[in-house]
Structure 1
Amino acid sequence: MQNELLSEAILDQIADAVIYADRSGDIARWNRASVAMFGFSSEEALGQRLDLIIPEHLRAPHWRGFDAAMSTAVMKLQGRPTLTQALHKSGRKLYVEMTFALVKGDDDNVLGAVAMARDVTERIERERSAARTT
């Protein structure tokens, strides 16, 4: 199997959502787990702004951080998992644990950013429910 085909197979079969956005914040990669997690098909997501899955109240801070990372080539949360909220196509709010990384070209210029996301909604709701009963 060629390296490119292998890379595509891995991205499409990994259990976590993998989302790549170019420097302008447009979605350019959306794997099968992203479809399952967020409810948008690849055709619906590709070319759309990341706002597609970012709740309204988180958009301003997201774009401040995203724009800063694109211009400075430094990402504050690089590689560190962070818990945040996301939107499903149905409008339902999800809790997701995400890791982020900058994607750089051969010349070290920033091409965009990649995020890996895992739906942890059930765990968070269970923890909150347990906290309310204690």
Structure 2
Amino acid sequence: MDRQLQQLIEASPDAILVTDREGKILYWNTGAEHMFGYPAAEAVGQSLDLIIPENLRARHWDGYYRVMATGRTKYTTDLLTSPGMHKDGSRISLEFSIVLLRDENGEIDGCASVMRDVTARWNKEKTLKKQLADCRSQLT
């Protein structure tokens, strides 16, 4: 099972990240390499700022440190939707879940995230909403 689990985690097309309490990247799978454009050797050891758009960093870190301090987040069962940033500077739309990781004493040790790039779907929905608004405005 360990070999199969490792294959699942490494080969997943979704980005799977593990970070410590300070938000330093400890693990970065192949899916994260493709999604964000950074090879694992470049991402591991870096801050999550690597993939967080600059204008969202303060809000992100407020929430991150609050979760690390309290051990509570609604995103263990709900998906979080947020923009991310590719190495080339382009934005991507993400949906992801968070798993809080604990040490042997039950204290929060960091977190893991499973992220999916939903940019294509988000763009399609945005286009459809605009078309719907245009149709409605023509009817009135």
What range describes the TM-score normalised by the shorter chain of this pair?
A: over 0.9
Q: For each residue in 1:18-55, what CA deviation from the matched residue of structure 2 results, as whole angstroms up to 9, or x when unmatched? A: 01110111000100000010000001100000000001
For 2:128, the equivalent position in structure 1 comes to 130
Aligned length: 132
Find the partner of 1:20 among 11, 18, 24.
18
Q: How does 1:1-134 map to 2 (within 5 A)?
A: 3=2, 5-134=3-132
Aligned residue for 1:132, secondary structure, equals helix
Aligned residue for 1:117, secondary structure, equals strand
Q: For each residue in 1:55-100, what CA deviation from the matched residue of structure 2 results, as whole angstroms up to 9, or x when unmatched? A: 1111111111111111112223223102110000010000011111
C-alpha separation in 2, matches of 1:73 and 1:106: 15
C-alpha separation in 1, matches of 2:70 and 2:128: 42
TM-score by length of 1: 0.92
Is residue 97–residue 120 contact of structure 1 (8 Å, CA) maintained in 2?
Answer: yes
Structure 1 or 2: more helix by fraction:
2
Percent of residue pairs bearing the same amino acid type: 33
Structure 1 regions of 5+ residues with no counterpart?
A: none
TM-score by length of 2: 0.89
Runs of 4+ in 1 over 3 A off after TM superposition: none
C-alpha separation in 1, matches of 2:113 and 2:76: 10
Aligned residue for 1:77, secondary structure, equals helix
Structure 2 regions of 5+ residues with no counterpart?
A: 133-140
Root-mean-square deviation (CA, aligned residues, Å) is 1.3
In structure 2, give the amino acid aligned to 1:118. R
